[in-house]
Chain A
Amino acid sequence: MKRRDVVRSLCVLGGSVAVGRDLRGHSKVARAATSLPEATTDPAAEPMAVLVDTTKCMGCRMCELACANQNDLPEPEPKVDFSVRRRTDDTRFTVVNQYETSKGTVSVKTQCFHCLTPACASACLTQAMHKTSEGPVVWRADKCMGCRYCMVSCPFDVPKFEYFSANPRIRKCQMCFARLDEGEVPACVEGCPAGATQFGTRAEMLEEGHKRIWSEPDKYVHRVWGEHEVGGTSWLYLSAVPFEEIGLRSDVGVEPVPALTKEFLYAVPFVITLVPPLLLGISEATRRSGDDTREEV
């Protein structure tokens, strides 16, 4: 390397360090400007979350309406048959279901749970599914090739695909990422008249959830759904009855789903580095003297 090149690379390095610092400084400013609620711990590390208290939900489905308005989706049907379990699809990102339980009828809002370590984002080969540092898992149209591997990997079958479009999108709750950027709360949280949903940092929402359980131990199941499920989610649930009774899966485990492919992916670099020399070695070892005849090039 010539001396001039060394100097030049040093300059580039120094410059990028300076720029990096600058960017970090800026991001703090940007964060303050959006006036997101301050968290108890490091705000940059703490994602945002929603706490759903199913004991407070009245099943009015105003969240469905607010969601549809926010995302330009068809308006939800005014009356629904609650005896049939409804599911989110490409035209509705959140639905409310009612369950007959040991403690009467319970209404439960469901949508993407915005996992802390999302299977869909780790499955995506273009990072179209992306876990933002603010918490929401968002989908980016310019990257997605429509392979639907996110749908295969999501343990909750959340991502939905527009099967009848020539330019199909993956559709799901984005946790109103744009609104969060403006310092607002998600549309469904704002639209909830019963106070069944609350928005804040995940640490705050967990604290709030546990506080309610401690203050009214007879009212709640002593667990916050989403604190540990699949490594933790950004939507947290409180319930008076076991979570399986209200359609929240408890069989998904506490390990993040992407951990299932981690071992395989770790093996890849070793296979790539170790197999070719082994093959070349065997090929050398099996060479006979007659094989040395070379083709004239």
Chain B
Amino acid sequence: MATITSLQTRPSGGLRGFGRFLLGELKPRGPVLTPFNIVTGALILVTIVLLTIRFAGGLGTITNLSQDVPWGLWIGFDVVTGVALAGGAYVITFMVYILRLEKYEPIVRVTVLNGFLAYVFYAGALLLDLGRPWNVINPIIGNSFGVSSVLFLVAWHFLLYMTAELVEFSPVIAEWAGWPKLRKRLHALTLGAVVLGITLSTLHQSGLGALYLMAETKIHPLWYSEFIPILFLVSSIFAGLSMVIFEGTITHKVFRDRLGQPLREGHDGILIGLSRICAGTMFAYLGVQVITFVHQGRAAWMGTGWGAWYLLEIVGLVALPAVLFLVGARRRDTRWIKSAAVLTLVGIIINRLNVTVIGFQWNAPVRYVPSWQEIVVTLGVISAEIWVFRWVINRMPVLDFHVRPQEGRPADASAATAA
């Protein structure tokens, strides 16, 4: 079996012991009044105040949403972009548990944790945007099932995918809590959860694009096409992996003392491998973009400002980083790879916003620009997510688990038999 070494103090003696352990774990570690904590703490506090106003007086009190633009920054950035950037979890679990590429095992836990938290917070941000959130349970309990709706599919998928991600991560929680028997049981569910998670991801990554298919007359022709679902799915692969590269780089600086030996030694190799995959999928994505370009007759728009904005996205923020990824992989230089990842992330954010916000109702007389409150709430949600992420990283064996390959790996056979 996999031998896991965890640095935590294990709780002893029943529920009361666990309660004491949990209370101890809830205490902050390290200095509290750091500049980062002060800024993010302030953002979270202001967000709470703003959300109180919003739930008391309606969405109009703090947002610039209108009758023509009913979905703004919270859907376009928090949900649609956030989920694309969380795509790393399904790609990495595919590589580790389905293709059994051992090389990537050291990052599987942190990637799954990131994916899970991203869905909880960013898909959770959907609740803030609902006018009648107390009815959110309706599509689940069957009052009524709107099966002809893409949003019905996306809603169910978010729920199921969060569960799958939690199951994938649950052995780590069991290790932290010191429940080895439960850990084995949960671990046996991993492959099933991974298969479910990947299937759901292919459908809701594309589904988020399919949501906008009915808005044919409202989205700028440079970003509307019947291929939106395919473009969203393919781009979620390199968007997610770029996020893994970006997040890994930051994690390595911030949580240096938490890194386990395999991750410390293997990280550069992992980044080089991921950059090759990014470049490959980005060229495939560019291929689909070229087909769409010809199919939709987009050349006619190239002389306009919208055309320049489109070219910046496709050439400057997809083609260019794809080449940078290739060069970085060839030279085995992670600096190229990290810059390429940042450019790719900017490109994905702009792409998703072009479909959902910037190019939406593009010829309306009054354009939507998010209010400062919408931006602060978005930053507040991100801050809260980082706090939870940090709390978990500092306590659970996410970056510092040890695997002994000769005795089996996290992706071992027991999972397959369970599924």
Q: Does B188 contact A (CB under 8 A)?
A: yes
- In angstroms, Cα B412 to Cα A288, docked, is 10
A-B interface contact total, Cβ < 8 Å: 204
- Chain B proximity of A52: nearest CB distance (Å): 22
Chain B residues near A151 (CB-CB < 8 A): 67, 70
**Is A123 touching B67 in the complex (CB atoms < 8 A)?**
no
- In angstroms, Cα B229 to Cα A286, docked, is 30
**Is A252 touching B217 in the complex (CB atoms < 8 A)?**
yes
Interface of A is mostly: loop
**Is A145 touching B60 in the complex (CB atoms < 8 A)?**
no
Closest to A129 in B: B146
**Is B138 touching A163 in the complex (CB atoms < 8 A)?**
no
Q: Does A191 contact B (CB under 8 A)?
A: no
Quick one: CB contact mask for B297-318 with A, threshold 8 Å, 1 for yes? 0000000000000000000000
**Is B412 touching A293 in the complex (CB atoms < 8 A)?**
yes
Q: Does B46 contact A (CB under 8 A)?
A: no
**Is A145 touching B414 in the complex (CB atoms < 8 A)?**
no
- Chain A proximity of B98: nearest CB distance (Å): 5
Chain B residues near A125 (CB-CB < 8 A): 139, 146, 149, 151-152, 155
Query: Which of the residues A166, A272, A275 comes within 8 Å of B58, measured between beta carbons?
Result: A166
- In angstroms, Cα B94 to Cα A3, docked, is 48
- In angstroms, Cα B99 to Cα A279, docked, is 9
**Is A279 touching B413 in the complex (CB atoms < 8 A)?**
no
Chain B residues near A153 (CB-CB < 8 A): 214-215
Q: Please provide the chain A residues from 108 to 143 with a CB less than 8 Å away from any CB of chain B in the complex.
A: 119, 122-127, 142-143
Closest to A279 in B: B195
- In angstroms, Cα B187 to Cα A157, docked, is 49
- Chain B proximity of A109: nearest CB distance (Å): 19
**Is B100 touching A291 in the complex (CB atoms < 8 A)?**
yes
- In angstroms, Cα B19 to Cα A283, docked, is 39
**Is B139 touching A283 in the complex (CB atoms < 8 A)?**
no
Query: Which of the residues A149, A164, A264, A280 comes within 8 Å of B206, measured between beta carbons?
Result: A264
**Is A152 touching B133 in the complex (CB atoms < 8 A)?**
no
**Is B71 touching A148 in the complex (CB atoms < 8 A)?**
yes
Q: Does A72 contact B (CB under 8 A)?
A: no
**Is A284 touching B416 in the complex (CB atoms < 8 A)?**
yes
Q: Does A292 contact B (CB under 8 A)?
A: yes
- Chain A proximity of B404: nearest CB distance (Å): 11
- Chain B proximity of A273: nearest CB distance (Å): 9
- In angstroms, Cα B215 to Cα A172, docked, is 19
Quick one: CB contact mask for B187-223 with A, threshold 8 Å, 1 for yes? 1100100111011001100110011111111100000
- Chain B proximity of A62: nearest CB distance (Å): 25
**Is B149 touching A283 in the complex (CB atoms < 8 A)?**
no
- Chain B proximity of A217: nearest CB distance (Å): 31
- Chain B proximity of A254: nearest CB distance (Å): 13
Quick one: CB contact mask for B49-63 with A, threshold 8 Å, 1 for yes? 000000111111101
**Is A168 touching B59 in the complex (CB atoms < 8 A)?**
yes
Chain A residues near B149 (CB-CB < 8 A): 122-125, 149
Q: Does B131 contact A (CB under 8 A)?
A: yes
**Is B198 touching A279 in the complex (CB atoms < 8 A)?**
yes
Chain A residues near B188 (CB-CB < 8 A): 295, 297
Query: Which of the residues A123, A146, A280, A295 comes within 8 Å of B130, measured between beta carbons?
Result: A146
Q: Please provide the chain B residues from 159 to 195 with a CB less than 8 Å away from any CB of chain A in the complex.
A: 184-185, 187-188, 191, 194-195
Given contacts A148-B131, A260-B213, contact A280 B61 (CB under 8 A): no
Given contacts A143-B138, A155-B217, A168-B131, contact A264 B99 (CB under 8 A): no
Closest to A119 in B: B214
Q: Does B417 contact A (CB under 8 A)?
A: yes
**Is B202 touching A271 in the complex (CB atoms < 8 A)?**
yes
- In angstroms, Cα B143 to Cα A144, docked, is 9
- Chain A proximity of B123: nearest CB distance (Å): 13
Closest to A146 in B: B131
Chain A residues near B65 (CB-CB < 8 A): 163
- In angstroms, Cα B214 to Cα A264, docked, is 12
- In angstroms, Cα B214 to Cα A257, docked, is 6
**Is A276 touching B71 in the complex (CB atoms < 8 A)?**
no
**Is B414 touching A295 in the complex (CB atoms < 8 A)?**
yes
Chain A residues near B97 (CB-CB < 8 A): 283
Quick one: CB contact mask for B127-162 with A, threshold 8 Å, 1 for yes? 001111101101100011110111111010000000
- Chain A proximity of B26: nearest CB distance (Å): 31
Q: Does B407 contact A (CB under 8 A)?
A: yes
Q: Please provide the chain A residues from 165 to 211 with a CB less than 8 Å away from any CB of chain B in the complex.
A: 165-168
Query: Which of the residues B1, B98, B198, B216 comes within 8 Å of A295, measured between beta carbons?
Result: B1
Given contacts A279-B199, A293-B412, contact A123 B214 (CB under 8 A): yes
- In angstroms, Cα B67 to Cα A157, docked, is 8
**Is A280 touching B195 in the complex (CB atoms < 8 A)?**
yes
Q: Does B408 contact A (CB under 8 A)?
A: yes
Quick one: CB contact mask for A28-60 with B, threshold 8 Å, 1 for yes? 000000000000000000000000000000000
Given contacts A123-B149, A264-B206, contact A295 B412 (CB under 8 A): yes
**Is A122 touching B414 in the complex (CB atoms < 8 A)?**
no
**Is B98 touching A258 in the complex (CB atoms < 8 A)?**
no
Given contacts A126-B135, A293-B1, contact A166 B57 (CB under 8 A): yes
- Chain A proximity of B58: nearest CB distance (Å): 4
- In angstroms, Cα B136 to Cα A290, docked, is 47
Given contacts A119-B214, A166-B56, A168-B132, contact A126 B146 (CB under 8 A): yes
6 A-B contacts (beta carbon < 8 Å):
A125-B149, A151-B67, A152-B211, A265-B153, A283-B98, A295-B414
Which residues of B pack against A, CB within 8 Å? 1-2, 55-61, 63, 65-68, 70-71, 94, 97-100, 126, 129-133, 135-136, 138-139, 143-146, 148-153, 155, 184-185, 187-188, 191, 194-196, 198-199, 202-203, 206-207, 210-218, 226, 229, 405-409, 411-414, 416-417, 419
Which residues of A pack against B, CB within 8 Å? 87, 89-90, 119, 122-127, 142-149, 151-153, 155, 157, 160-168, 249, 251-252, 257-258, 260-261, 263-265, 268, 271-272, 275-276, 279-280, 282-284, 286-288, 290-297
Knowing that A161-B59, A260-B226 touch, tell me 6 more A-B residue pairs with CB under 8 angstroms: A143-B144, A144-B131, A271-B199, A276-B196, A283-B416, A291-B409
- Lowest 5 A-B CB distances belong to which pairs? A146-B131, A163-B60, A146-B132, A148-B70, A125-B152
